[in-house]
Amino acid sequence: MNIAILDPTTLTGQELRQGLAQRRQLAERIALLTTETEEANALTEGAGEPMLVRLLGAEALRGIDLIFVCGSIDPARGALAGADAGATVILVSPDADVDDGVPVVAGINDERIRAGETILSPAPTVIAVAHLLHALRALDPIEAVATAIQPASTRGNAGLDELLDQTRKLLTFQQRDEPSLFGGQMAFNILPAVAPRLTEQLASVVDAPQELALTVLQGSVFHSLSVSLYVRFDVDPGNDAVRAALGAAPILELVDEASSLGPIDAAARQEILVGEVLRNGGSAPGYWIWATMDNLTRGGALNALEIAERLHPD
């Protein structure tokens, strides 16, 4: 299979390249392409070998079977029109949405994977909550409300740079620049995050409860997101049953030190780590679940690569 990675120097693009190096059976040939002129002709690595990043031109996608889009969706739209008719596109773009492709979380709604179509690897928050709810489906939840705190790396290298710069200047009592990317001071702070239509993405992936809500906050950590999920049932399944259902899911891992689980523990991990599972104090049979996930591995590149593996299982 001939594969192209659009904008391979993004954080997700770097993870994809590392993942392909471990899955050499997926790719006969890899092309690294960029929509950014300043990135063109950069020497980097693809599938474990030195490669040049080429500027995306009119004929660059000819003969390509699978295209991963890692950068912003807008500059990629026109270029994708030049792809072969049978090419599959997997969007790992931070700003792609349900109008751009069919949302798929590998292992949950694999039946929607079709060769030759445009597939959306959903936002990391959606991937995390989808795996949690999918694990609980047999217990028939009737309501799910999730709040996620996303890291600076969801905004790419620019997000990491701005958070680092703000943190350094605050700690050394230097004059801070006017914040641009986050719209306010991000260091040592939490802000609302712009995350449109995530509930719609989630509902299209998983057999969601009748009552479903998802909101996202922007946190001041560099990597990995955290999720606080409230799930309510008609009949109380009991704490042991909830934990057993979560622990049986292949992507989820129950941690021993549940009370001290934080996003740093999930960095570079392939699993979604599940911490405390606490019954709500009221009369309603509901439970609070705390979980963390690396947004670049499980929440980004791994989901896209597992979709590709299901396209070509041999």
| Rounded distance between C-alpha atoms, residue 87 and residue 55, angstroms | 19
83-100: average pLDDT: 92
* pLDDT band with cut points at 50, 70 and 90 for residue 41: confident
pLDDT at 210 over 90: no
Ranges for all domains in the chain classified under CATH 3.40.50.720: 2-122+300-311
Its sign, for the CA torsion 11, 12, 16, 18, is positive
Tens digit of pLDDT for each residue in 150-164? Answer: 999 999 999 999 999
The two structure tokens encoding residue 290: 């705390």
Can you tell me the mean pLDDT for 118-135? Answer: 97
- How far the first Cα of the chain sits from its last, in Å, is 11
Give, in degrees to the nearest 5, the angle at Cα 111 between 109 and 114: 115
Q: Is the pLDDT of residue 313 over 70?
A: no
On whether the 126-295 domain is CATH 3.40.710.10, my answer is no
Whether 196 has a pLDDT exceeding 80, the answer reads: no
At residue 155, the pLDDT reads 93
Q: Percent of the chain beyond pLDDT 70?
A: 98
Output the pLDDT for position 47: 66
Helix (H, G, I), strand (E, B) or coil at 125: helix
Tell me how far apart the alpha carbons of residues 277 and 273 are, in angstroms, rounded to a whole number: 12
pLDDT at 284: 83
Separation CA 11–CA 16 (nearest Å): 9
Two tokens, residue 123: 């936002």
- pLDDT at residue 45, rounded to an integer: 78
Report helix, strand or coil for 314.
Answer: coil
Q: Which residue has the higher pLDDT, 217 or 75?
A: 217
Mean pLDDT score across all residues of the chain: 92
Neighbours of 85 (CB within 10 A): 5
Per-residue pLDDT tens for 12-30? 999 999 999 888 888 888 9
Q: Where are the beta strands (DSSP E) in the chain?
A: 2-6, 29-34, 43-46, 49-52, 54-55, 66-69, 88-91, 102-103, 118-120, 141-150, 191-192, 211-218, 225-233, 252-254, 272-279, 286-293
pLDDT above 80: residue 48:
no
Helices (H), the chain: 11-21, 73-80, 124-135, 156-171, 198-205, 239-248, 302-311
**In a 10 Å sphere around its CB, with 0-12 CB exposed, 13-18 middle and 19+ buried, how is residue 308 labelled?**
buried
CATH of 2-122+300-311, one of 3.40.50.620, 3.40.140.10, 3.40.50.720, 3.40.50.2020: 3.40.50.720
**Mean pLDDT of all residues in 171-181:** 85
For residue 304, give the nearest of 14, 40, 99, 9 by alpha carbon: 14
Mean pLDDT, residues 300-310 taken together: 96
What are the start and end residues of each CATH 3.30.360.10 domain in the chain? 126-295
What average pLDDT does the segment 293-312 reach? 95
Q: Which residues have CB under 8 Å from 171's CB, separation 6+?
A: none
- What pLDDT does residue 270 have? 96
Q: Quick one: pLDDT at residue 289?
A: 98
